Structure formats: C-alpha cells, structure tokens
Amino acid sequence: MKRIIYLSFYFKPDICAGSFRNSTLVIELAKQTLDKNIVLDVFTTLPNRYSTFYVGAQEYEEIDNLRIHRIAVPSHRSGMLDQVFAFWHFYNAVWKFNQSKNADLVFASSSRLFTAYLGYKLAKKCKAPLYLDIRDLFVDTINDIFKLKLVKIIIIPILKIIEAKTFNYAKHINLISSGFKDYFLSFKSPNYSYFPNGIDEEFISGNKSNHSDEVSNLHKLIVYAGNIGEGQGLHRIIPRAAQILGNSFKFLIIGDGGAKKLLEEEIKNLGLTNVILNNPVSRDELQSFYLKSDFLFLHLNDYPAFRKVLPSKIFELATFNKPIIAGVAGFSAHFIKNEVSHSFVFNPCDAIQLVEYLKNSKSNSIINRSEFVERFRRSKINNAMAESILSYI
C-alpha cells in the first residue's frame, strides 16, 4: 500500500483561505485514490485561525482511504511570535508521528513557508517526491512589512536559506498566483503549475439576487469579510473614507486578525459611527451579509510584495451579483479589471479615490458573472490539480 502525507496548517472546519482550498482538494484526492491502494494521511490543526471564532472538530477522522489528524496548537491572536510558537508545536507533533514511517509522496500547501519546509524535511527523510502548493511569498512579505534592522540582517538571510533548500528540493511547485512567476525564476529544479483559488459550490448554489429586500434606503452598505491584518491594511483606508463619506455610507467589517486593534483605535479616535466591526461568522451567515450589501470590498496594504498575489477573496465575492470595490495593485488589479465585471479598482490606501467612486456610483445594471463562475469552479480546479499531484506517485 502506498502512502501520501498531506500537510496543511489550516483545514475544515476552520474558516480561512487555506482551509477552504485544502479541505476540498483533499476530498478530490481521496476520491481519485480510493481504488488505487493509496492511503492519504492529512496532518493539520484543530481550528485556531481566529481567537474569536471557535468550532469543535475531531482530532482524528478516518473515511475509507482518508485519515485526518488534527493537532491541538496553542491559541494565538495572529501575532508573529505566537504564530511561530503554534507552528513549532505542529511541526514537532507531525515529525514525531512520521519519524518511523515512510511515504511515497509528500504534499504541502503553505503560505508562510514553514509548512513547506516541514514537507521538505519529511520528503527528504522518506526519499519521496515533494509537491508544494505555494499560496504566498512569505520571505518577500516579511521583508516588506518588518522594518527592523534585526529582521533585515539576521532573519531574512536565514529564511532565504530555508526557502532555497525547500524550493530546490521540490519536484513540483504549484503557484496560486501567476504573479509569483518571476520570483521563482531562480529555482530551476521543480516543474511548475498555476492552479489558482476557486469558487466553492456553496457560494455558487446560494441565492445571488441582485438586491436583497433588506438593503437599507437610509445608507449604502459596504461589506468586508476576512482577515484584519497588516497585509489588508484596513486601518489605513476605511476610517478615513468613512469620515469623509459620513452617515450616507456604512462599512460593515466582519473578521479578526493582528491589526484589528489598530482599526478599532482609528475608529475611536475619529469618533466614527458608520463603521461596524463583527467577529468572524460561518460561511452560511456570511452569505446573508453579502446579500444585504450594496458594495463588496477588498483591500491589500501598499507593499510591493502584494503586487504579485491573487487573493482568494476575489473568487468568493465575484459569485455575488454586487459591485466589487478593490484597493489592490499589480497582478490582482490586472486580473480584476480583465476578469471581473462590475468592479472598480483603486490604488491601495487611497481614501480619496475610493470616496470619489462611491459618491459618483449610480450603477443599477443587472450583474451577471456566470461565465467567470463557471471557469473558476473549485471542483474543476481540484480535479485537474489532484491529477497533477498523483502523477508523482
């Protein structure tokens, strides 16, 4: 019997892009390997993405040829040090479990490099092929966000060594964004693919009416849902825009993350009453908030590293028949302008540009993105990606 080790720090029922991507891909892989005498061992964590959202999950599940191992990690509030500590706990537990076991293929889906590095260590130990799914350029992002000399002089060079070892060992690397392509030019050994994020069936099958009966006539509602971190930079755009727009517009922010306090402080300092903060909610509840909105909002901070990414949130928002406002640059801006109808792209952190669009927006046209939805169904992408993964076993 052959064995695949599958690594993803986040998995269902956690709520984040990594969980949504990997939970569905695992199901497709299990389906394609069911009659091939292959066991799929998934190593992940118990839900821990947000301290304000908790849902129970089993530590171990076994369904046919699929075995899911969920490891309890210390709770964190998305700070760098507590995330490092949580991952170290995950790393040690996975290594200990697999120390005396073999594998025929190691797959790792990674946004912060270290899950990829764990995959490299396990693959090397087992003398197995390594297939990586890279969801973010961690070293690039750290280099942009952290300005301390200690980070630049000591930590970045160490991370680059880890990155080079990991990427050069891999047989195959999938890049979730084609904007990453230039960054990987120096890594010649792997084969490459570009399977992006996709749209989950639960968003496709829901009611996507153009306007909800509950939309208020008193104000226009702008909804953001997702992580509230330095990478999103909401504290640099929403309070200022809300202050200028006044009470004819209301922002509803649903989520949690390391920069939520910064956003709360800005709201308090400006005395704003038209910005509402909600803790993370289930995906079913989230859809009802989207349907009540007048605009759906997406934003990335103004860092060079973010000009290469393609946020998973684009695919989710595009299934709803609502105008999309996106403060993004680079590859994301190009993708949205060319692929997502009824969208407005503005420069990250440019509150004036955002305000001018909202004040002048009069679009009441019927929005239909069915062609986009059909092209980027998660099920289609997973089917092709699973076939690619299994070609290495």
Q: Tell me, what's the pLDDT at 79?
A: 64
Please calculate the CA angle 258-263-268 and round it to the nearest 5 degrees.
140
Residue with tokens 């997973």: 382
Half-sphere exposure of 357 (CA within 13 A, CB side): 20
Residues 6 or more apart whose CB falls under 8 angstroms from that of 342 comprise 323, 324, 363, 365, 367, 369
pLDDT value at residue 146: 81
The dihedrals phi and psi of 388, each to the nearest 5 degrees, come to -65, -45
Mind listing the domains of the chain with CATH numbers?
2-198+377-390 (3.40.50.2000), 202-375 (3.40.50.2000)
pLDDT at 213: 45
Res 150: pLDDT: 79
HEC letters along the chain: CEEEEEEECCCCCCCCHHHHHHHHHHHHHHHHHCCCCEEEEEEEECCCCCCCCCCCCCCEEEECCEEEEEECCCCCCCCHHHHHHHHHHHHHHHHHHHCCCCCCEEEEEECCCHHHHHHHHHHHHHCCCEEEEECCCHHHHHHHHCCCHHHHHHHHHHHHHHHHHHHHHCCEEEECCHHHHHHHCCCCCCEEECCCCCECHHHHHCCCCCCCCCCCCCCEEEEEEEECCCCCCHHHCHHHHHHHHHHHEEEEEEEECCCHHHHHHHHHHHCCCCEEEECCCCHHHHHHHHHHCCEEEEECCCCHHHHCCCCCHHHHHCCCCCCEEEECCHHHHHHHHHHCCCEEEECCCCHHHHHHHHHHCCCCCCCCCHHHHHHCEHHHHHHHHHHHHHCCC
Q: What is the pLDDT along the chain (393 residues), one digit of tens a residue?
A: 999 999 999 999 998 899 999 999 999 999 999 999 999 999 999 987 666 566 778 999 999 999 999 999 987 565 677 788 889 999 999 999 999 999 999 999 999 999 999 999 999 999 999 999 999 999 999 988 887 887 788 999 999 999 999 999 999 999 999 999 999 999 999 999 999 999 999 888 765 554 444 555 678 999 999 999 999 999 999 999 999 999 999 999 999 998 999 999 999 999 999 999 999 998 889 999 999 999 999 999 999 999 999 999 999 999 999 999 999 999 999 999 999 999 999 999 999 999 999 999 876 677 999 999 999 999 999 999 999 999 999
Q: What is the pLDDT of residue 74?
A: 83
Angle formed at CA 213 by CA 313 and CA 17, multiple of 5 degrees: 15
CA atoms of 146 and 245, how far apart (whole Å):
32
pLDDT the model gives residue 145: 84
Q: How far apart are CA 221 and CA 254, in angstroms?
A: 13
**Strand pairing category for 130-134 and 66-71:** unpaired
Structure tokens at 123: 């693959």
Contact 327, 298 (CB under 8 A): yes
> Taking the model in full, what pTM does it have?
0.91
CA distances from 279 to 292, 317, 320 (A): 17, 19, 21
